[in-house]
Structure formats: C-alpha cells, structure tokens
Chains A and B, each alone.
Chain A
Amino acid sequence: MNEKMKEWFMKRVPFNQEKASKVMSKIFLEEPIPKHMKNWYYALGATPLILFGFMVVTGILLTFYYIPSPNKAYNSVRYITEEVSMGYWIRGIHRWASNLMVIAIILHMVRVFFTRGYRKPRELNWIVGILMFAVTLTLCFTGYSMVYNQLSYWAATVGTNMIKEIPIVGTTILDFLRGGQEVSSNTLTRFFNLHIGFLPTLLFILIIIHIVFIRMHGVSKLEGKEDDEETYSFYPEHFYHTIIVALFLITFISALTIVLPPGLGEPANPNITPAHIKPEWYFFAVYSILKFVPLKIGVFLILALVIAATFWPFIDDMLRKKWPKIKIHYLVGSLTIILFLFFTVYEILVH
C-alpha cells in the first residue's frame, strides 16, 4: 500500500528523490559551523528566529478573538486575557516574545558589531539585518497600538506625528498610516493590516535573504582566525543547541507570563492624555531625545543614526583606512551602548 501511494505521488510530483535528499542534506545538515560557535553567545542569531516562530503561532491564535475596531479592540483584548481559556498565556507569550526578540536582536547585533562580522564580503547582510531590526520595531509599535488602551492611542498619535517630520515623504507616510487627519478607526485597521500581514511577510522574506546570505558566505569566522579555525557540521550539535534554546525560551516566557502577566491599562481616551505616559522600554532613548531637543533636530538625529547604522560596514572600512591602528568600532559600539543604556535607565528611574 505504501509503495503504491509512493508511486502515485511520484507520478504526480516527479523529482529525483535521491538527488533532492543529497542537496537538502548538504544545505541544511552538513553546513560547516566554525568551532567558536560552540559558545552559547553565538546562538543569538537563531534566538530571534525561534521567537518569531512563537509570535507567528500565537499571533494567528490571537486573531481568532481580536476585533480591530476602536469600540471593540480593547474589550476583545480583555476578553482574550481574562475569559478565553489559556488566553492570558497565548497573549503573554506573544507579548514577552516580542520584548525578548528586541533584546535578542540587540545582543546579536552587538556580537556582530564587536566581532566585525559585517566586514567584507558580508556588508549587505548587515544591511538586511538593520532592515529586519527596523521591521521588528515597527511590528512592536503596531502591536502595542492594537490593544487600544491609553498607551496604544497616544503612542500611535505621537509615533505618526513624528513620521510627519521626515523630510519629503513624511506627510505621505502619515496619511498612509492614519487614513485621515487623526488616529481613527482607519488607523487601527491599517495598523492591524500591517501587523498581521505586510510586516510579518516582509520579515519572513528578509529572514530568508539573511539565511541565504549566511549560507552563501558561510558563518563568519573570528577576525584573524579565518584560515585555521576548525569547523563542525550543523547537525547534530548545533541543531540540538538551537532546540535547547527553543525549549529554554518557551519555559522562560511561560514563567514570565505567569509572574508578570500582560496588563490591559486604561481604555483609550482621545480626550485625555494621562499624566504619566511613556512608550515601551525599547523606545525610551528616542523618547528621551525628543524631550530634550527640538522636534526637527530630534527626528534628524534619529534619521542620521539609522543611516549611519545601515551603512556602518562601509563607514568603518573608510575610517580604518584612515586610522588603521584605532579600533573605531569598539569606540562607536561602546558609546552607542552607553548612551542607549543611559537614556533607557534614566527613563525607567525618572517620572
């Protein structure tokens, strides 16, 4: 029976099974991994991917109950959190996974930055990585705007108004996102559309491009050890490494959800901005800058930083040619981390 089914299938989907399995094995199982990857810190590339997987699954489940309408969104989230069986767990995983994904991407970027993993010929993959980080932050922003509590509403108002300040295209992007003059039902449905459709698809495509680039160039070896570092194959050791990370993450996120369940906050009120309002922690640095400098300069600084980060591999290359003895990436990387931590901790401590 089995043979018959196989024959039936092979007639309809004719392909060389032996050749395909050889190719697949070469691509996925025998990928040469440099020995330094046995260190756990080097599993941080797979961590966001695993978290993205968790978010896709929990996100699909959340859409079973979520209603993207200003009058019903908040109540549907409350219903998921308080009444649907295991709803708080699904929402908690979605929320905590998004926070951990931002942390994991930052740590992965720090690792790549300090080991200069972006150096020739991997510059384009760094740019893909920056794009992925930007898409992730946009997913986070559109995600917490959908709860339609006070934070959602005012974050959406402030965030979209900031976009307006981007030179040339700002107003067009603002109109596209809001679908009107103010944050309205059009804005919520557009955010919902972006959050569950366009952005995850874009991120998925970027992940594939990122992995294809890694497979084409091979995993970057440590600088100065390019020739003599030993390698081992992806399967089984690194594969198990990834499975352990996945198992750890689901346990850790479940524990976080139980200890710190996702809150609801006050329902959105377009008439009153609450006395104490702040965005999520990963936007604290941006929030802080906007408090202390004029709006146009603030937006200009943020844009300049994004452009510099995107093209850093080329900037670094130019600077190293000029000052070959100075490790500029150490200086720039350390300064960025110190400033980011300073503003983030400052906003946590100050009302």
Chain B
Amino acid sequence: MNEENNPHDKSRRKFLSKLFMGGGLLASFALITRNGIKYIFPSIESTPLRKLLVGKDDKIKIGEVKEVQVGESALYLIKNKDGYKVFSSVCTHLGCKVKWEDYRNRFYCPCHKGVFDSHGNVIEGPPPRPLDEFKVEVDKNLVYMWIEEKSTETV
C-alpha cells in the first residue's frame, strides 16, 4: 500500500495539523492577553521613604496641630503629651480628605461624616480604622517625619 494513501497517516496528519493550529492559536491568544493585561494595569512601584524636617521641638506646644504640605498631600503633625504623631489626611473610609477642626479638637471628613480624635482614632461615623500614621523622630531639638515619595501625578 502506498504510504500517502494510508488512512492512519491521513488521520495522523489531520490530528497534527489541528494540534499545531489549535496550539498556535491558543499560545498567541495567551500572549496577546498577557501583553494586554500588562498594558492596562500599570506597574505600581513601592514608594521610597524620605526624611523631612518639619520644625523645632521647643517651638511646638503640646496639643498643637501643624498642617504640613508635602507635594500635593497634606499631613498633620500633632504634639501630644506622649510625643509626636503624624497622620495622613486621607480618610480611611472612602478616601476623602479629613480636616483638623481646632475648635472641636477633632479630624472631620465631610464625605460621610467620619470623625477622628487627636490620636487618629475613630470616634464617630463609618470609617473602619484609625487614620494612617507616619513615622516621626526627634533629633537634637529638630522634628523629622518619614513620608512616602509619590511618583504618580494626581492632577
């Protein structure tokens, strides 16, 4: 029997051509999808920390709240009896900006009426956790805080 007319050969050839065709299509589809996903979701790099001088220890009174503008974001430096604390102004509920209200001694978020005390703890409203804190250190009467160096532009 001629080799070319062998039905086993024909079906094997058919199977192999389907396998390579299907496999090729599947592989290219997977590659296109992977590249597409990589394009749509930009890689978010971890932000480096930076030390920032915010004031002199003897010039800040206990109970005083200082708003520090770092790039586009505002941070709050608070001197309590037990030391300094630096809070993010981003509400832990849905990301609006809280504002320090001196006359009420609290942080207030206007979006969903969340309220935090001077230690950053939630005292009213829906926020699920205290305000985010940043590391702060005092070195030879100088107050420094460690903040994230943002690389993305907001506006």
Contacts and interface: CB of A to CB of B under 8 A. Distances in A.
A268 B126 contact: no
B139 interface: no
A64 B126 CA distance: 42
Contacts of B98: 273
A292 B113 CA distance: 9
Interface majority SS on B: helix, strand, loop or mixed? loop
Interface string B41-52: 110100000000
Interface string A125-147: 00000000000000000000000
B96 A290 contact: no
Interface stretch (B18-26, B27-35, B78-86, B104-112): B104-112
Contacts of A277: 96, 110-111
A186 B95 CA distance: 18
A268 to B, nearest CB: 7
Contacts of A183: 154
Given A154-B96, A181-B152, A296-B128, A290 B41 contact: no
Contacts of B93: 290, 295
B74 interface: yes
Contacts of B154: 182-184, 270
A266 to B, nearest CB: 14
A184 B44 contact: no
Contacts of B97: 270-273
A157 to B, nearest CB: 5
A19 B96 CA distance: 62
Given A291-B125, A291-B126, A184 B152 contact: yes
A273 B111 CA distance: 8
A175 B41 CA distance: 6
A73 B122 CA distance: 36
Place the interface of chain A in its size category. Answer: 35 or more
A183 B72 CA distance: 13
B72 A270 contact: yes
A274 B96 CA distance: 9
Contacts of A295: 93-94, 126, 128
Interface string A297-330: 0100000000000000000000000000000000
A161 interface: yes
B155 A268 contact: yes
Contacts of B152: 180-182, 184
A157 B95 CA distance: 6
Given A271-B72, A295-B126, A162 B40 contact: no
Contacts of B96: 154, 157-158, 273, 277
Interface in A84-123: none
Interface string A251-278: 0000000000000000010111111110
B73 to A, nearest CB: 7
Contacts of A275: 110
A273 B42 contact: no
Nearest to A297: B126
Nearest to A172: B41
Contact of B94 (A71, A158, A180): A158
B153 interface: yes
Contacts of B99: 272-273
A210 to B, nearest CB: 29
Contacts of B44: 175, 180-181
Contacts of B110: 273-277
Nearest to A71: B155
A291 B111 CA distance: 9
Nearest to B91: A273
A192 to B, nearest CB: 15
A296 B93 CA distance: 10
Contacts of B126: 290-295, 298
A158 B111 contact: yes
Given A157-B94, A184-B153, 17 more contacts: A70-B155, A172-B41, A176-B40, A179-B40, A180-B42, A182-B152, A183-B154, A185-B153, A273-B97, A273-B109, A273-B110, A274-B110, A276-B110, A291-B112, A291-B113, A294-B126, A295-B93
24 contacts: A70-B155, A154-B96, A154-B111, A158-B96, A161-B95, A162-B94, A176-B40, A176-B41, A179-B41, A180-B44, A182-B154, A183-B154, A184-B152, A184-B153, A185-B155, A268-B155, A270-B72, A270-B97, A273-B98, A275-B110, A277-B110, A290-B93, A290-B126, A295-B93
